[in-house]
A and B are shown apart, each in its own frame.
Chain A
């Protein structure tokens, strides 16, 4: 599964980077979303793949940390999901406002000069 997951991260990141370099605002937004999936999965993967052992503890008693998934990357990613949502929303609004102001959806606010 390691192979599949890392390939998946690579595909998501590549699609994201390609879109990031496109000239249309909408492409860049979709690119940022894809890139954030890739990065979230990457951070999550730092905790390694643990199957069937979510970090939910019994109440009290001795706890063997190796029997559970690493909670730290999960907490980090949870935060990252919310923040990337906020970023997407902000960028989307900037996109709408810029389109209204400049009349174009090019990232520079004007069409490329030939």
Chain B
């Protein structure tokens, strides 16, 4: 049994170093240079993004130039890397990130990646040139170019990732950046909706992909891409393989807009045309098919893969081409054409034969070239005529002959006309569909489906050309059309030229590169396949000819009816995937949560708190039930009647405070103080002098705060009828039971814990090392300012935040009207009497000020060795300030004392932080303290630890925060006085009038 289990257990995570070493070049110098070049290559687009984000909002030229030049540098680097790549090497560069998790920033490049990255950079440059002329002067420049370049960087990072987790990170980055790009014109509703839909669909897919990659990494035992790619057998034998495949395909299909997730792509048409051209050609949607091809050796070659991938691909191919024919929007037609072509590539990846993978890679390139040029042409048409509606466009060839000619060639490539690049890869697809067999029904139907899709592709390409460029001159266009600036046309010209050259000389131009790419996907022993135009008069050629002929016939027959028909194919146009998506989104994010909230939620605090208390009690009982028992020989410190008596008083105080908190608030505050004092005495009794001191001081401040707060509460009289009714009684009885159960439970746990002997713990270490390591004899203080100084640092930061929050909350405070009125007790008295009433105490309190400051200094300096410390000293000083405020009115104090609490806080935080950072200077970690004693004449040995400086920071911050809170609340009375004066002025004015 044991061996069996060991065999089935997952392989352990091993460092991928050994594996990498095999792949790395032998001559290390050359290897080093190439490693750095790889890192630079990934960094370039991001550098361009940062540079572009800093230009002025109108500097179109500068942003385009900087970005374009950096991408051109990228192309030059790719040219340098071509030599080792064409030797069949895999270049790698690794930056260690979280090695313990198997997470490294690894970049790798082989032939396939090289081809893809080159495509991204090249089309990126052309898109930049095009965008320079496409965007209007009003469009903000830095945002566009920065997003576009960052998106390029994310895409390149995804392509070059050598770690599958990092790949997902870059994958998600492309989703987020495409969201920002699609929503670039965020003034428009369509852009916002399209961007959101794209983000939700591709983002959800990305989550699926993340899970798939995590499981995959667990199965393989490494997240390194090369190890994963080499572990196809292990993965396919694993029982989790179907799950991994399903999640992986969800990621790829959403990204590559495969049906039924295709609907986000037409929505993304709201983006500026350069963005559409880029997203639809070399990036974004191609990421999905890239991953399909890349992971074919790991996940492919199974029946499941074939049915899922080829099935989805063929469905998308056929339906996409059918829908494209019926779209009236120019970019809509192109979008569905993109969906259809992606289906073609997906179907090829599903077939997965040597020829199919080669054809898939070839078609990725070809589609990128002709689709980018077509989008740019559509953008020019939109730009120059003001509309993209094919029912309004007509006869444009007379106004823009050059653009027209370019668009005609490009759409011929899209249709698969011979002598153009689209023809050859489509021919290869037909050949795979017809020649490759595994005998399933899907396989048998492939040639027919492929031909049908071919027919529709010819028809929609023809429709694009025929309606836009031919026919009578359009009369109702928003603008009079003319040729665009010649530089705007340059990218299109270049792309169309590539279509032609590759279409005529495929073997000479792209043959070696494509074979290299296919080899790096499928393995180095793949035989070289020559790519040629002419293979003789064979079945694929017949299929092409049938598609051409039938496509022309189809358009000739249907053309007129399509133009007058609805947007979308017959029957199917009612079913809008976008609308279905919106509905689902609405019910998931709005209706369902509201329903759940209405059914189970409450907005009232009391039930929520009751639930929390009950859950806490239940959790306590559930975990402690049965495990709590009496110690065999319980600890006992003898019964002390004085202690018991003290707590009898304490208990009366606590219960009394609870009882009186509703109708007699003042009494309740006094009793609360009583309970606090008893707590404080308990600390002192049980060997915790530091706690006793701090508790006592905090008790004073809290009581004053509560008393200040009382002033703003409404009057409440005992004789409220409703409180005596049955429902209120039942509520109180129920809460009483909860309280008793909770209190009894806590008491029980405390008793059991108190009687069990203490086991040796970390506290012993603190006791032993406080003096030798921390240089202080008061261990509690040494823990706070030395051993656990980072916790204290966090704590004082919280205190500062609370102080500032209190201040901010009270700045906009408006008291309730009835609180502005003078109290009944004060109403009959004049100011003089009020001031005299406290004359003697106020003089005493004034004299106490220096005494308390000295006390604070005493507490502060002895803190490291004896009870005291920064907290206690800080609270003491704030009590000293507080006394002055109590003794006199606010104006009197502030005429004589300038307290700047915010500065105290800031300086305190700075001192504490600087002490911590100071440790860096001596090569120690943050907040390492140094301790030493210094002989001071007259006083003797004085501890001079850096912890003392830290404690000074704590001190200053506590003073600042406490005083800030107290002053902020005390100042409210000033405001009410002002309001009262204004009110009385108003009434006297009215009376006078």
- Contact check: which of A15, A63, A79, A100 meets B768 at CB < 8 Å? A63
Chain A residues near B651: list those with CB within 8 A.
7-8, 11-12
Q: Give the distance to chain A from B232, nearest Cβ to Cβ, in Å.
A: 54
Is there contact, CB below 8 Å, between B813 and A97?
yes
Is there contact, CB below 8 Å, between B754 and A5?
yes
Is there contact, CB below 8 Å, between A18 and B658?
yes
Given A55-B780, A81-B691, check contact A22 B661 (CB 8 Å). yes
Q: Give the distance to chain B from A71, nearest Cβ to Cβ, in Å.
A: 4
Is there contact, CB below 8 Å, between A11 and B654?
yes
List A37-88 residues whose CB lies under 8 Å from chain B: 37-38, 40-42, 44-60, 63, 65, 68-75, 77-79, 81-83, 85-88
Chain A residues near B871: list those with CB within 8 A.
78, 82
Q: Give the distance to chain B from A74, nearest Cβ to Cβ, in Å.
A: 5
Is there contact, CB below 8 Å, between B761 and A72?
yes
Is there contact, CB below 8 Å, between B766 and A72?
yes
A4 to B397: give the CA distance in the assembly, Å: 99
Chain A residues near B810: list those with CB within 8 A.
93, 96-97
- Mask, B701-736, CB within 8 Å of A = 1, is 110011001101110100000100000000000011
Is there contact, CB below 8 Å, between A78 and B694?
yes
Is there contact, CB below 8 Å, between B686 and A22?
no
A10 to B754: give the CA distance in the assembly, Å: 14
A2 to B639: give the CA distance in the assembly, Å: 8
- Contact check: which of B639, B679, B742, B814 meets A13 at CB < 8 Å? B742
- Contact check: which of B761, B762, B968 meets A93 at CB < 8 Å? B968
Given A5-B682, A56-B777, A71-B783, check contact A107 B753 (CB 8 Å). no
Task: With CB as the reference atom, state the residue of chain A lying closest to B722.
Answer: A114
A20 to B608: give the CA distance in the assembly, Å: 11
Chain A residues near B739: list those with CB within 8 A.
14-15, 17-18, 21
Chain A residues near B837: list those with CB within 8 A.
none
Task: With CB as the reference atom, state the residue of chain B lying closest to A52.
Answer: B687
Give the interface size bracket for A toward B. 35 or more
Is there contact, CB below 8 Å, between A108 and B604?
yes
- Contact check: which of B744, B746, B819 meets A38 at CB < 8 Å? B746
Chain B residues near A89: list those with CB within 8 A.
702, 705, 802, 806, 965
Chain A residues near B890: list those with CB within 8 A.
none
Is there contact, CB below 8 Å, between A9 and B750?
yes
A47 to B634: give the CA distance in the assembly, Å: 15
Q: Give the distance to chain A from B447, nearest Cβ to Cβ, in Å.
A: 71
Chain A residues near B635: list those with CB within 8 A.
2, 48-49
Is there contact, CB below 8 Å, between A51 and B687?
yes
Main secondary structure of the interface of B (DSSP, over half): helix
Task: With CB as the reference atom, state the residue of chain A lying closest to B751.
Answer: A6
- Contact check: which of A40, A65, A100, A114 meets B813 at CB < 8 Å? A100
Main secondary structure of the interface of A (DSSP, over half): helix
Task: With CB as the reference atom, state the residue of chain A lying closest to B791.
Answer: A79
Chain A residues near B958: list those with CB within 8 A.
82
List B632-668 residues whose CB lies under 8 Å from chain A: 634-640, 643-644, 647, 650-651, 654-655, 657-658, 661-662, 665, 668
Interface centre among B606, B792, B958 (most CB of A within 10 A): B606
Q: Does B690 contact A (CB under 8 A)?
A: yes
Given A26-B665, A34-B654, check contact A93 B744 (CB 8 Å). no
Q: Does B698 contact A (CB under 8 A)?
A: yes
List B473-493 residues whose CB lies under 8 Å from chain A: none
Q: Does B764 contact A (CB under 8 A)?
A: yes
A50 to B754: give the CA distance in the assembly, Å: 11
Q: Does B361 contact A (CB under 8 A)?
A: no
Q: Does B760 contact A (CB under 8 A)?
A: yes
Given A2-B751, A78-B871, check contact A34 B657 (CB 8 Å). yes
- Contact check: which of A12, A54, A86 meets B802 at CB < 8 Å? A86
Q: Does B88 contact A (CB under 8 A)?
A: no
Chain A residues near B961: list those with CB within 8 A.
86
A35 to B613: give the CA distance in the assembly, Å: 12
Chain A residues near B763: list those with CB within 8 A.
47, 65, 70-73
Is there contact, CB below 8 Å, between A51 and B637?
yes
- Contact check: which of B714, B744, B866 meets A99 at CB < 8 Å? B714
- Contact check: which of B751, B760, B803, B806 meets A3 at CB < 8 Å? B751
- Mask, B608-645, CB within 8 Å of A = 1, is 01100100000000000000000000111111100110
Is there contact, CB below 8 Å, between A13 and B691?
no
Is there contact, CB below 8 Å, between A65 and B735?
no
Is there contact, CB below 8 Å, between B743 and A14?
yes
Q: Does B755 contact A (CB under 8 A)?
A: yes
Q: Does B972 contact A (CB under 8 A)?
A: yes
Chain A residues near B638: list those with CB within 8 A.
1
Is there contact, CB below 8 Å, between A56 and B865?
yes
Interface centre among A6, A30, A46, A68 (most CB of B within 10 A): A30
Given A37-B679, A96-B972, check contact A2 B754 (CB 8 Å). yes
Is there contact, CB below 8 Å, between A23 and B606?
yes
List B815-847 residues whose CB lies under 8 Å from chain A: 815-816, 819
Is there contact, CB below 8 Å, between B688 and A69?
yes
16 A-B pairs with C-beta separation under 8 A = A4-B647, A14-B740, A15-B658, A17-B742, A33-B676, A55-B778, A56-B777, A56-B866, A71-B783, A81-B698, A83-B799, A89-B705, A89-B802, A89-B806, A93-B968, A105-B714
User: Contact residues of A with B, CB < 8 Å?
Assistant: 1-27, 29-31, 33-34, 37-38, 40-42, 44-60, 63, 65, 68-75, 77-79, 81-83, 85-90, 92-97, 99-101, 103-105, 107-108, 114
Pick the 8 closest A-B CB pairs, nearest first: A10-B747, A14-B743, A65-B764, A18-B739, A6-B751, A69-B687, A15-B658, A6-B750
Q: A34-B675, A47-B763, A89-B802 are in contact. List 20 more A-B contacts (CB 8 A).
A: A2-B635, A2-B751, A10-B743, A13-B746, A21-B739, A48-B758, A51-B686, A51-B687, A55-B780, A56-B779, A65-B764, A69-B687, A71-B763, A71-B767, A71-B780, A74-B688, A85-B702, A86-B802, A90-B806, A107-B606
User: Contact residues of B with A, CB < 8 Å?
Assistant: 603-606, 609-610, 613, 634-640, 643-644, 647, 650-651, 654-655, 657-658, 661-662, 665, 668-669, 672, 675-676, 678-679, 682-683, 685-691, 694-695, 698, 701-702, 705-706, 709-710, 712-714, 716, 722, 735-736, 738-740, 742-744, 746-751, 753-755, 757-758, 760-764, 766-768, 770-772, 777-780, 783-784, 788, 791-792, 795, 798-799, 802-803, 805-806, 809-810, 812-816, 819, 865-867, 871, 958, 961, 965, 968-969, 972
